[in-house]
Amino acid sequence: EVDRTLDNSGRQRRAIINSKNFLPKWLQKLVREARQRGINLKIMPGGFKRRKQNTSCYMYSEKVIHWDIEFKFIHALDDKVVDNLDQLLAEDLPVSHSEFSSISRRVCEDTPLSSVLSKYIDSNDSVDDHEENRKLLLYRKTGITGISVLYRKENVAEKQHKYFELDLNGTIGHNLVRKTVIEFPTFLVVLNQFKHLFDIIDEKALKVNT
């Protein structure tokens, strides 16, 4: 069920533009700068929704990339469970949820991941949208120490999804090194007690083997 919720269209992946000749110069520059940082940035054709959504850019004056970042809160609450937060946190069972997504625009690559998440997770920060506030109650109850952020590995066969676990204290740029990004990164925010539902890659073992 988790895979079905997170699954992206295979058709979209096949439509990714591989030739630099189709890209405007500013977008070519963004792709080059990303690859110099060890990030494999893929750009989709102009008609695709993700291409239209993306406002990520390379800032020449600052010499940094500003990324759009999509956060998917996999265990956002639905209306039926809002009154049972403590019980849900105590149970090692999948939460009844309705996935909630939000995009943070043009985040500097030097920003720590935890800082970007704080506006969603930190109970001291106000959330303007009432629906967002309600759906993220479980995350805010748990706090930043009770969550993990995952990134789905691209170019993996359907129904065999694997995920990288990201460093909350690391910068956005650091977390994207050796990753393939389609237009802009999508980070999956999960509660720690449900992390075992995901097939997480052991990056330390990968480094030893390579």
Full-model pTM? 0.81
The pLDDT, as a whole number, for residue 210 is 53
The pLDDT, as a whole number, for residue 128 is 56
The pLDDT, as a whole number, for residue 76 is 86
For the beta carbon of residue 161, count every other beta carbon within 10 angstroms: 16
pLDDT, tens digit, 9 for 90 and up, residues 117-169? 998 988 655 555 666 777 888 898 889 999 999 999 987 666 678 999 999 99
Domain spans, the chain: 2-209
The amino acid that residue 62 corresponds to is: E
The pLDDT, as a whole number, for residue 9 is 44
Write out 23-91 in H/E/C secondary structure. Answer: CCHHHHHHHHHHHHCCCEEEECCCCCHHHHHCCCEEECCCCEEEEEEEEEECCCECCCCCCCHHHHHHC
The pLDDT, as a whole number, for residue 203 is 76
The pLDDT, as a whole number, for residue 182 is 96
Q: Which residue's structure tokens are 């997770």?
A: 121
The pLDDT, as a whole number, for residue 47 is 84
- Mean pLDDT throughout 62-86? 81
pLDDT, tens digit, 9 for 90 and up, residues 26-66? 999 999 999 999 999 999 988 889 999 999 999 999 999 99
Q: Where does the pLDDT of residue 91 fall: very low under 50, low under 70, confident under 90, or very high at 90 and above?
A: low
Percent of the chain whose pLDDT exceeds 70:
71
205 pLDDT more than 70: no
